[in-house]
């Protein structure tokens, strides 16, 4: 019997932005350092997911309140002693990762079979098979998978397949001090996430929403889903991701019809020529 | 806390998920603020005004826990009539000796009773108590720190109704009456509505059924009034009944793993293990004189001689005998303060010739980094042990002074030895955390190459020195030859057994059996113990610190995980969790209680109290030691068994905290005419000039307030992080954090460069403009603050200027800690000048501000 589908639930409402997940991921998976760039994007200096960043913590400073939180700041000349005049501020942090889609386009387009679906329902690149063709890269609706410079092969989160095989949890989830990153049976995580969402709504954090949890979405639901505190776009996530290979069968049908028409046309011309 | 202690912060998050209110008071909106219910920004350096305001709120609105306050604190104790408060003397206390910049504490005493300090400066009383001459060096007075306290004579007079005009409660009430919400707003820049919300949240969550905890770090300690910051919190927690109870307390979060351990078994100049004070250079002082001068008669400190003799037996073994005072004369004697900063001064004056730097990086991490390097440039030899070639090891060839031309490599005579160090994963040992809990760690791998543990280094260094001195008849060499240095070694590099050292620390009886409790220690030489408070960590011959029974398999106190001093008690003074009759104050907050059937104290935690002392026990006349404290006196280390709101002895700068401005402040003190802590330590030197403050001319040259801090991604002065690519890429460069308003005012561009200038130096940093930095309204004007992480220096994979170039050496007089959490500065766009032009820029600022050697040195 194959094991249950495993997944990540990343609850960004309790992420403290420590980036331990980024470091643990790199340490365990031997992902190389990829540049000392001061980006000026708040405390985010790794900028986004890529071949050499499999966990990425976004830092988003917004002039909006976080539930009933009192931020205490006053900008644009506002009188700080006037509670009504003080400006709002919230600092969102979120650890992004490969979504391990139910319908994974990267896997669909991989011509070598390097990308495969594991017994845990996760999507993994086999580095000894990948030939660096790069088809998977434009196929990913989230822009996650990427080619490593000077290497050419495609790399991304494996949900620590090697650790799962021996019954351990992924490095990022194990190291996360606040359990913002939770690893477990996907169905259980979805249930837990729904409960957490209710809790936050009751606490006045009405912006809270789940992302990637719904099996009826454009990718059939994500194996790694999130609790966000804003629109997905605020975190650099596509609002309505669609598996890029969803239309492939239809496209192939259209292509087949076209090819058939072309072939019959060609044949007809020969027939005519034969006369 | 989320920034610097992310692992510990998980418990704050768990508490929050159970309904706790989290309040974050910090000049900056940090990762902690992001997860808190309320962020309260304040001007750096004004926390005593803020906390004092809460004290005033609690007293004026009668929100204190009266039953606890009257029974367990010295609120009712009457102070002698010669005491004069800051209220009477416009900002200073009675006893101030302006000429010598110190206080005579005699007028702070209880009426009818002289108490020895519970901690802090116990040598103050040596002369009174022994009748002998004072310390050989006057500067030495106030240098014995420790813990303990007792009555010499009489009982204190009290007024349980708290109405006597000289009772502590009334003095406290008068002292803080001027710390009004309006004054808090004026000084701290904290709006009244926010301040009152904090007061309400804290008081609503304190009392019989609820408790609140304070958590602080070096944002409170690194000031010229650092100790008094913590004292203000202690007063507040005692008023609210939040000490010795579950969910209460004041937690000090440390900057490194086992900083607690390094004060318990100290790397400090003024302490022996277990907070026994280091003896002073009194003429003809012997062991009995030392104990008489510094130990109390009541409470557990009354047994200080047993602790000291057992320590000397552990150190000097058979050589320590009753007829030679157990080698008490082998102990060094203090002739003054020998803190790290005074050591730097001694280096510059040529009096200190050699220096060990172990796991520190003063050329980046200590205040006035240039003074640190100039001191090192004046040594004969320097030993540095670290993972990488940190700035403190290479300043002689590539330090900032080489660039400015202030130093030339060829002229530096210091011989520098660099030794690669093993990491904690490569050695066995213990970490002691802020809860006083020891947790053992086992080596996971052997260190690479020549890297060795500190244990290895000092053991073999001692072994080789002893071999070289063997046969010497010089009395000066006797202590080194007599010291017990017989630890078993193991493995390929002859690593000393850390386990054997823990066993020595724990101590043994006359038959060599491990001791189980410090109550077994004797003063006749029959017991050994390397640190009395750690006695029991190796009880039954088992390394108790290595216990790892999961929390789910034991009660919520989890006494079977690791081991906490003293006697594995997890919450200190937990007798206070029960009422005077021994019953829990409430079911929700039950921790330990008196079981009348068994005639014992019992509960979830191990009682921090004599196990069979009834709540109704009243000490007979002439009782001493623990027996001299009553059954309702929870603070068993104290002379009077009480929590001290008012400190009659032990502090060098006053019995009550008062707000003083930082050494370099753009604001005058709005509370008193006294601007700064009158007895702070200042060292005006050519490279350590102070700035005009408040209304003084030139103060406006440095109009902003700067604070330094750490980021999650790096560790202190960078030795453990700036060489690591995975951490460096997360925070790759030195930067400063400024508000959009300050950026506009000074023309700073986001991601551009800024130069920050003080009277000491100028540094450059990338600019991070963020609304997390907020302007404040202080004393009628807008104040901008500048945030500076202090991790960077010129070496390493990720490099940058060091924030500590800017800070002055100005110290708290109790613990000699530097004021780096609040000082004034200027900021300007662009990179700093190079070479001699850098020195010229700083000199130009000094001229503009009219700075002389006298500036900022007033009492």
Instruction: State both tokens at B207.
Output: 């009392």
What is the distance in angstroms between the Cα of A190 and the nearest Cα belonging to chain B? 19
Contact B49/A81 with Cβ under 8 angstroms? no
Q: What are phi and psi of B573, to 5 degrees?
A: 55, 35
Across A139-163, average pLDDT: 96
Least confident of B70-79, B174-183, B328-337, B530-539: B328-337
Check residue A256 and give its pLDDT.
77
Residues B141 and B120: their CA atoms lie apart, in Å, by: 11
CB contact under 8 A, B31 and A89: no
Nearest CA in chain A to B773: A73
B contacts of A74 (beta carbons < 8 Å) = 774-775
pLDDT for residue A194 is more than 90: yes
Residue-wise pLDDT for A1-38, tens only, equals 678 999 999 999 999 999 999 999 999 999 999 999 99
CB contact under 8 A, B6 and A40: no
User: Which B residues in the span 316-335 are in contact with A, Cβ-Cβ below 8 Å?
Assistant: none
Q: Check if B730 contacts A (Cβ < 8 Å).
A: yes
Residue-wise pLDDT for B168-215, tens only, equals 999 999 999 999 999 999 999 999 999 999 999 999 999 999 999 999
User: Which A residues in the span 251-270 are in contact with B, Cβ-Cβ below 8 Å?
Assistant: none
Nearest CA in chain B to A88: B771
Query: Is B271 strand, coil or helix?
Result: strand
CB contact under 8 A, A33 and B766: no
Nearest CA in chain B to A78: B775
Check residue B613 and give its pLDDT.
97
Q: Check if A205 contacts B (Cβ < 8 Å).
A: no
Q: What are phi and psi of B545, to 5 degrees?
A: -70, -20
DSSP 8-state secondary structure symbol assigned to residue B120: S
What is the distance in angstroms between the Cα of A44 and the nearest Cα belonging to chain B? 7
Question: Side-chain half-sphere of B251: how many Cα atoms within 13 Å?
Answer: 21
Q: What are phi and psi of B846, to 5 degrees?
A: -60, -40
> How would you class B185 by CB atoms within 10 Å of its CB: exposed for 0-12, middle for 13-18, buried for 19 or more?
buried
Q: How far is CA B641 from CA B38, B70, B121, B237, B628, in A?
A: 36, 13, 19, 17, 9
User: Which A residues in the span 106-165 are in contact with B, Cβ-Cβ below 8 Å?
Assistant: none
Which positions ≥6 away from A101 have C-beta within 8 Å?
A123, A141, A219, A220, A221, A222, A223, A243
Contact A31/A46 with Cβ under 8 angstroms? no
Best residue in A35, A36, A227 to probe B by mutation, most B CBs within 10 Å? A36
What is the distance in angstroms between the Cα of A103 and the nearest Cα belonging to chain B? 33
Check residue A265 and give its pLDDT.
72
Query: Is B697 strand, coil or helix?
Result: coil
Check residue B124 and give its pLDDT.
64
Residues B685 and B760: their CA atoms lie apart, in Å, by: 10
Terminal CA-CA length for chain A: 64
Q: What are phi and psi of B560, to 5 degrees?
A: -100, 15
Compute chain A's Rg from CA coordinates: 23
Helices (H), B61-160: 66-72, 86-89, 126-130
Closest CA to B50 of B240, B220, B257: B220
> How would you class A171 by CB atoms within 10 Å of its CB: exposed for 0-12, middle for 13-18, buried for 19 or more?
buried
A contacts of B741 (beta carbons < 8 Å) = 75, 77
Best residue in A31, A61, A71 to probe B by mutation, most B CBs within 10 Å? A71
| Largest separation between any pair of C-alpha atoms in chain A | 96
Q: Check if B749 contacts A (Cβ < 8 Å).
A: no
User: Which B residues in the span 136-195 are in contact with A, Cβ-Cβ below 8 Å?
Assistant: 185, 189, 191-194
Check residue B283 and give its pLDDT.
72
Task: Convert B580-604 to b/e letters by CB count within 10 Å (16 or more is b).
Answer: bebebbeeebbbbbbeeeeeebebb
Closest CA to B294 of B121, B35, B467, B88: B121
Residues B250 and B242: their CA atoms lie apart, in Å, by: 9
Question: Side-chain half-sphere of B825: how many Cα atoms within 13 Å?
Answer: 35
pLDDT for residue A274 is more than 60: no
Instruction: State both tokens at B109.
Output: 């005493």
Instruction: State both tokens at A227.
Output: 């609790």
Across A77-97, average pLDDT: 96
pLDDT for residue B17 is more than 50: yes
Q: Check if A88 contacts B (Cβ < 8 Å).
A: no
- At B151, the pLDDT band (50, 70, 90 cuts) reads very low
Check residue B123 and give its pLDDT.
67
**ipTM of the modeled complex:** 0.92
Q: What are phi and psi of B738, to 5 degrees?
A: -135, 155
CA-CA-CA-CA dihedral for B207, B208, B209, B213, to nearest 10: 40
User: Which A residues in the span 58-77 are in contact with B, Cβ-Cβ below 8 Å?
Assistant: 61, 63, 66, 68-75, 77
Residues A61 and B34: their CA atoms lie apart, in Å, by: 10
Check residue B44 and give its pLDDT.
98
Q: Check if A44 contacts B (Cβ < 8 Å).
A: no
pLDDT for residue B134 is more than 50: no
Closest CA to A28 of A127, A135, A125, A172: A172
pLDDT for residue B146 is more than 60: no
Closest CA to B246 of B735, B576, B595, B485: B576
A contacts of B26 (beta carbons < 8 Å) = none
Across B666-692, average pLDDT: 98
- At B130, the pLDDT band (50, 70, 90 cuts) reads low
CB contact under 8 A, B798 and A19: no
Residue-wise pLDDT for B483-513, tens only, equals 999 999 999 999 999 999 999 999 999 999 9
What is the distance in angstroms between the Cα of A144 and the nearest Cα belonging to chain B? 19
Residues B845 and B783: their CA atoms lie apart, in Å, by: 20
Q: Check if A33 contacts B (Cβ < 8 Å).
A: yes
pLDDT mean across residues, chain B: 94
Q: Check if A37 contacts B (Cβ < 8 Å).
A: yes
Q: Check if B10 contacts A (Cβ < 8 Å).
A: yes
CB contact under 8 A, B770 and A42: yes
Please, what is the angle between helix B47-60 and helix B226-240, to 10°? 20
Residue with tokens 């001093």: B565
Check residue B126 and give its pLDDT.
64
Q: What count of other Cβ atoms lies within 10 Å of the Cβ of residue B639?
A: 32
Task: Convert B42-58 to b/e letters by CB count within 10 Å (16 or more is b).
Answer: bbbbbbbbbbbbbbbbb
B contacts of A93 (beta carbons < 8 Å) = 31, 34
Residue-wise pLDDT for B315-351, tens only, equals 999 999 999 999 999 999 998 889 999 999 999 999 9
Q: Check if B800 contacts A (Cβ < 8 Å).
A: no
Q: Check if B751 contacts A (Cβ < 8 Å).
A: yes
Kindly write down the DSSP assignment for every residue of B759-786, as one continuous string: SS-EEEEEEEE-TTB--EEETTEEE-EE
Contact B806/B763 with Cβ under 8 angstroms? yes
A contacts of B733 (beta carbons < 8 Å) = 36, 38
B contacts of A230 (beta carbons < 8 Å) = none
pTM for the predicted model, two decimal places: 0.94
Nearest CA in chain A to B781: A79
Residues B622 and A177: their CA atoms lie apart, in Å, by: 54
What is the distance in angstroms between the Cα of A71 and the nearest Cα belonging to chain B? 5
B contacts of A73 (beta carbons < 8 Å) = 29, 39, 41, 771-772, 774
Residues B499 and B503: their CA atoms lie apart, in Å, by: 6
pLDDT for residue B150 is more than 60: no
């Amino acid at each position: 019997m194959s094991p249950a589908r495993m997944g990540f639930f990343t609850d960004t409402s309790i992420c403290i932005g420590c980036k331990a997940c980024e470091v643990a991921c790199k340490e365990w998976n031997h992902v190389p350092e990829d540049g000392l760039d001061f980006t000026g994007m708040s405390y985010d200096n790794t900028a986004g997911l890529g071949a050499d960043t499999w966990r990425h913590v976004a830092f988003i400073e917004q002039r909006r309140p976080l539930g009933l939180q009192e931020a205490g700041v006053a900008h644009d000349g506002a009188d700080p002693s006037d509670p009504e005049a003080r400006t709002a501020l919230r600092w969102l942090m979120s650890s992004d990762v490969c979504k391990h889609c139910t319908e994974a386009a990267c896997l669909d387009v991989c011509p070598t079979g390097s990308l495969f679906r594991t017994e845990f329902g996760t999507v993994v690149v086999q580095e000894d098979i990948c030939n660096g063709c790069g088809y998977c890269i434009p196929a990913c609706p989230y822009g996650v998978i990427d080619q490593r410079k000077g290497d050419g092969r495609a790399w991304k989160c494996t949900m620590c397949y090697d650790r799962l095989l021996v019954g351990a949890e992924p490095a990022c989830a194990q190291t996360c001090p606040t359990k913002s990153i939770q690893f477990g049976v996907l169905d259980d995580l979805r249930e837990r996430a729904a409960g957490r969402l209710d809790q936050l709504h009751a606490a006045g954090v009405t912006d809270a929403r789940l992302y990637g949890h719904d099996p009826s979405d454009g990718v059939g639901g994500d194996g790694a889903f999130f609790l966000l505190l804003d629109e997905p776009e605020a975190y650099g996530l596509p609002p309505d991701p669609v598996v890029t290979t969803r239309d492939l069968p239809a496209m192939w049908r259209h292509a087949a019809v076209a090819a058939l028409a072309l072939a019959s046309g060609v044949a007809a011309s020969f027939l005519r020529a034969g006369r | 806390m989320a920034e610097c202690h992310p692992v510990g912060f998980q418990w704050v998050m768990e508490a929050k998920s159970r309904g706790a209110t989290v309040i974050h008071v910090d000049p900056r909106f940090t990762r902690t603020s992001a997860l808190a219910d309320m962020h309260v920004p304040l001007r750096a350096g004004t926390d005593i005004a803020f906390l004092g305001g809460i004290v005033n709120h609690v007293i004026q609105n009668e929100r204190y826990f009266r039953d606890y306050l009257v029974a367990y604190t010295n609120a009712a104790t009457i102070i002698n009539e010669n005491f004069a408060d800051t209220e009477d003397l416009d900002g200073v206390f009675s006893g101030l000796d302006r000429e010598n910049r110190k206080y005579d504490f005699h007028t702070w005493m209880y009426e009818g009773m002289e108490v020895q300090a519970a901690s802090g400066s116990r040598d103050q009383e040596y002369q009174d108590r022994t009748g002998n001459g004072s310390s050989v060096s006057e500067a030495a007075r106030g240098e014995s720190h420790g813990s303990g306290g007792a009555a010499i004579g009489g009982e204190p007079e009290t007024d349980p109704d708290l109405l006597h005009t000289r009772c502590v409660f009334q003095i406290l009430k008068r002292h803080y009456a001027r710390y009004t919400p309006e004054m808090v707003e004026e000084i701290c820049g904290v709006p009244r509505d926010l301040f009152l919300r904090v007061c309400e949240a804290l008081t609503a969550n304190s009392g019989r059924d609820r408790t609140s905890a304070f958590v602080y770090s070096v944002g409170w300690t690194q000031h010229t009034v650092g100790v008094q910051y913590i004292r203000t919190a202690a007063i507040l927690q005692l008023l609210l009944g939040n000490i010795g109870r579950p969910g209460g307390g004041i937690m000090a979060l440390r900057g490194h793993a086992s900083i607690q351990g390094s004060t318990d078994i100290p790397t400090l100049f003024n302490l022996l293990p277990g907070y026994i004070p280091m003896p002073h250079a009194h003429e003809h002082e012997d062991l009995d004189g030392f104990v008489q001068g510094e130990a109390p008669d009541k409470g557990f400190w009354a047994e200080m001689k047993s602790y000291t003799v057992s320590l000397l037996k552990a150190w000097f073994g058979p050589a320590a005998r009753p007829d030679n005072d157990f080698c008490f004369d082998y102990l060094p004697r203090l002739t003054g303060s020998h803190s790290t900063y005074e050591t730097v001064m001694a280096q510059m004056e040529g009096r200190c010739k050699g220096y060990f730097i172990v796991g520190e990086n003063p050329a980046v991490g200590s205040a006035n980094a240039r003074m640190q390097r100039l001191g090192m440039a004046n040594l004969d030899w320097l030993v540095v042990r670290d993972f990488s070639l940190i700035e403190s090891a290479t300043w002689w060839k590539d330090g900032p002074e080489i660039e400015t031309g202030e130093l030339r490599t060829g002229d530096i005579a210091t011989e520098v030895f660099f030794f690669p160090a093993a990491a904690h994963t490569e050695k066995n040992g213990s970490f002691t955390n802020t809860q006083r809990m020891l947790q053992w760690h086992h080596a996971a791998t052997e260190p690479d190459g020549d890297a060795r543990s500190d244990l290895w280094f000092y053991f073999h260094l001692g072994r080789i020195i002893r071999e070289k001195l063997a046969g010497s008849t010089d009395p000066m060499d006797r202590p080194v030859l007599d010291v017990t240095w017989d630890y078993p070694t193991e493995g390929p590099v002859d690593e000393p057994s850390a386990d054997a050292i823990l066993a020595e620390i724990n101590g043994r009886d006359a038959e060599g059996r491990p001791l189980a409790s410090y109550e077994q220690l004797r003063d006749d030489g029959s017991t050994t113990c390397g640190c009395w408070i750690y006695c029991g960590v190796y009880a039954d011959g088992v390394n108790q610190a290595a216990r790892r029974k999961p929390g789910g398999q034991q009660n919520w106190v989890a006494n079977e995980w690791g081991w906490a001093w003293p006697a594995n008690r997890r919450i200190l003074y937990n007798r206070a969790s029960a009422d005077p009759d021994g019953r829990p104050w409430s079911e929700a907050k039950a921790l330990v209680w008196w079981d009348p059937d068994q005639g014992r104290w019992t509960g979830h935690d191990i009682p921090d109290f004599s196990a069979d002392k009834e709540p109704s026990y009243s000490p007979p006349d002439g009782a001493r030691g623990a027996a001299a404290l009553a059954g309702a006196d929870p603070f068993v280390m104290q002379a009077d068994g009480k929590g001290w709101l008012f400190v009659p002895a032990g502090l060098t700068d006053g019995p009550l905290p008062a707000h003083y401005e930082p050494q370099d402040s753009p604001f005058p003190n709005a509370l008193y005419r006294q601007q700064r802590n009158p007895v702070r330590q200042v060292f005006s030197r050519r490279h350590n000039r102070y700035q005009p403050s408040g209304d003084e001319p030139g103060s406006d040259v440095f109009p902003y307030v700067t604070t330094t801090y750490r980021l999650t991604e790096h560790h202190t002065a960078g030795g453990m992080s700036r060489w690591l690519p995975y951490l460096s890429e997360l925070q790759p460069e030195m930067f400063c954090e400024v508000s959009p308003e300050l950026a506009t005012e000074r023309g700073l561009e986001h991601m551009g460069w800024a130069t920050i200038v003080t009277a000491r130096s100028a540094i450059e940093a990338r600019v991070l403009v963020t609304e997390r930095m907020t302007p404040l309204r202080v004393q009628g004007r807008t104040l901008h603050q500048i945030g500076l992480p202090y991790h960077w220096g010129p070496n390493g994979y990720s490099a940058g200027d060091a924030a500590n170039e800017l800070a002055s050496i100005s110290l708290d007089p109790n613990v000699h800690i530097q004021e780096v959490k609040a000082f004034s500065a200027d900021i300007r766009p662009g990179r700093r000048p190079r070479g001699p032009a850098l020195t010229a820029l700083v000199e130009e600022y000094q001229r503009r501000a009219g700075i002389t050697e006298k500036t900022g040195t007033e009492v």
